């Protein structure tokens, strides 16, 4: 499983040393130059260099699904991705009280932005 997890995170390698924004829906929650990322247990830990030259870390749970294109990696925390489109399972999961998380049933987009 560890190798599979690293393969899913491979798209992030092309974003290293580039300016990125971390967006949940349309809101930017972090931004800076992506210096490092690593997987630890069930989390992805990002090290970001801010525009004030301060290293900050941002840790998110391992996503249920990863999408990518040339300028973006999307971590999905959507319930339907968790259930892999099994509607019976999705109904059961949604019957529980939602988690108190900014990422619950949302996507985190990591987007490269031009320098400037």
Q: Where are the alpha helices (DSSP H) in the chain?
A: 2-9, 79-82, 87-95
Q: How far is residue 60's CA from residue 43's CA, in Å, rounded to a whole number?
A: 6
Q: Residue 1's pLDDT is what?
A: 42
Residues paired with 28 in a beta bridge? 23
- Tell me the pLDDT band of 28, cut-offs 50, 70 and 90: very high
Q: Cα torsion at 100, 103, 105, 111 (round to 10°)?
A: 170
22 three-state secondary structure: strand
The two structure tokens encoding residue 85: 């489109």
pLDDT at 80 over 70: yes
For residue range 60-75, list pLDDT tens digits in order: 999 999 999 889 999 9
């Amino acid at each position: 499983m560890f190798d599979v997890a690293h393969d899913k995170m491979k798209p992030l390698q092309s974003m290293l040393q580039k300016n990125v924004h971390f967006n949940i829906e349309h809101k930017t929650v972090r931004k800076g130059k992506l210096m490092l990322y690593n997987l630890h247990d069930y989390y992805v830990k990002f090290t970001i260099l801010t525009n004030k030259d301060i290293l900050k870390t941002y840790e998110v749970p391992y996503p249920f699904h990863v999408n990518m294109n040339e300028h973006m990696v999307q971590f999905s925390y959507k319930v339907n991705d968790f259930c892999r489109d099994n509607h019976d399972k999705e109904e059961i999961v949604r019957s529980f009280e939602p988690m108190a998380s900014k990422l619950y049933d949302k996507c985190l987009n990591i987007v490269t932005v031009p320098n400037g």
